[in-house]
Every structure is written in structure tokens, then in C-alpha cells.
């Protein structure tokens, strides 16, 4: 686990940017309140996380375990950044990429039952250096459950990269080893994070409007 001094902290009173200063898909124009983290900033921060990961893990073999669905964009961009660094440095980081799917959210609420799909073939992780890549950690319960699950396959080492960590009162205090942004306890979408499967096709991380919540509620 890391400490948050090395995450980019977004304060509780951060209002975000007005939507009309950026572009976003027309079909979501009424459904968002603000641009919370612009895509470019996500990319710049990801580039730095990649460098930290290279500094720590360079010259090891790793298995990247991407946590779907929300983690697909962050994982793809992080892996791309690591590949660029490998090309431009004398370190290398041979990677395999594997996928696991977790589901615990309905509307904007976490449900008790966590489903892990793709967990059958995790025996490939035995004896390996594993980098779990997750888009968001809020209470930390999901990550704890996943870590217990992965640990059962006896990897040599486990590191976790989380793009976002939420400041939630009921949190377990769990922190990933690499954290992109520490954010207030607000429901965010975009950059592959969804609300009932909507908004994955949005580049920026945004706050959903009340109207958006109503429109896509199930």
C-alpha cells in the first residue's frame, strides 16, 4: 500500500470545469454536470504512474490483471505508456495481460454481492509478479476481496494500480500502490466508468447530473 501524498488530490470543493469548455458526445449533453478530470490530465497522470511502475518493476516479468469493465481504458493507456518507456529506456518490462470481471454496482450504489468472472484461470498467476489495474477504489472492500482471491493462487508479488481513490467515510483505508487521483465521494462516469453501462464512451471523467441519473436508472 502507498500513502496518498503521491496521488493528485482533488479537494472536496472542486467544482469541475463547465461542459462547454470541452467537447463530449452530443447524446450526453443533458446528462452531465461538469468535466471533473479532463482526458488530457488523465493521460498525463497515467504517464507518470507508468514511470513509477517502471522504476519499481522494470526488468521483472509481470502479469497485468485488468479489472473489467471499468478498468479497460486505464489499463490500455497504462500499458501503452509502459511500452513507450521501454522503447526509450534501457529497462524492459515483459508483460502478459489478463482480464477479470467484477460487478457490484446497481445505479450509483454498491451492492453486497460481488461477482468475479474469469477467476477460474488465475492459476497462471502462480509464482508471477502481478499488477492489478483497477479504475476506481472506493470503500476498498472490492479490492480486499479480489486481493484475497488472487493471493490464493500464490503469486510472487502483487501490486495494485488504481486510477481513482474515493475519500469515503466508510472506507477500509485500503490504498493501491499506485494512485492516479484521490477524489471526493461523488459518483463519476466516463473514461470507461459507467452508470448502468452508460457513459463508457466519454473521454473525460465527469460528474453525472440528476437528469442523467434519472434517465439511465434501472
Binding site for ligand HPA (CB under 6 A): 70, 105, 136, 138, 187-189, 193-194
Is-contact 180 49, C-beta < 8 A? yes
Q: Does 36 bind Mg ion (CB under 5 A)?
A: no
Q: How far is the CB of 197 from Mg ion (least distance, A)?
A: 8
Question: Which residue out of 55, 77, 113, 138 is catalytically annotated?
Answer: 138
Q: Would you call 31 a catalytic residue per the annotation?
A: no
With respect to ligand HPA, which residue has the nearer C-beta, 62 or 135? 135
Q: Does 194 bind Mg ion (CB under 5 A)?
A: yes
Distance CA 120, CA 108 (A): 28
- Which one of Mg ion, ligand HPA, none is in contact with 189 (Cβ closer than 5 to 8 A by kind)? ligand HPA
Q: Which does 198 bind (CB under 5 to 8 A by kind): ligand HPA, Mg ion, none?
A: none
Q: Give the per-residue contact string, 76-105, with Mg ion (x = CB under 5 A; - = no).
A: -----------------------------x
Catalytic positions are 138
Amino acid at each position: 500500500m502507498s500513502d496518498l501524498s503521491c496521488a493528485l488530490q482533488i479537494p472536496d470543493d472542486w467544482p469541475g470545469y463547465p461542459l462547454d469548455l470541452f467537447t463530449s458526445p452530443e447524446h450526453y449533453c443533458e446528462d452531465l454536470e461538469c468535466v471533473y478530470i479532463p482526458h488530457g490530465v488523465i493521460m498525463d497522470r497515467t504517464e507518470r504512474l507508468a514511470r513509477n511502475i517502471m522504476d519499481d518493476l522494470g526488468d521483472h516479468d509481470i502479469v497485468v490483471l485488468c479489472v473489467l469493465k471499468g478498468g479497460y481504458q486505464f489499463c490500455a493507456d497504462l500499458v501503452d505508456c509502459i511500452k513507450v518507456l521501454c522503447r526509450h529506456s534501457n529497462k524492459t518490462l515483459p508483460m502478459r495481460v489478463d482480464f477479470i470481471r467484477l460487478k457490484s454496482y446497481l445505479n450509483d450504489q454498491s451492492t453486497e454481492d460481488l461477482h468475479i468472472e474469469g477467476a477460474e484461470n488465475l492459476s497462471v498467476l502462480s509464482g508471477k509478479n502481478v499488477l492489478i489495474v483497477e479504475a476506481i477504489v472506493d470503500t476498498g472492500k472490492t479490492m480486499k476481496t479480489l486481493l484475497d482471491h488472487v493471493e490464493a493462487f500464490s503469486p510472487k508479488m502483487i501490486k495494485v494500480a488504481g486510477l481513482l481513490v474515493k475519500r469515503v467515510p466508510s472506507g477500509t483505508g485500503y490504498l493501491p500502490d499506485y494512485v492516479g487521483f484521490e477524489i471526493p465521494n461523488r459518483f463519476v462516469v466516463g473514461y470507461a466508468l459507467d452508470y448502468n453501462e452508460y457513459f463508457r464512451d466519454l473521454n473525460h471523467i465527469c460528474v453525472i447530473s440528476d437528469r442523467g441519473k434519472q434517465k439511465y436508472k434501472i
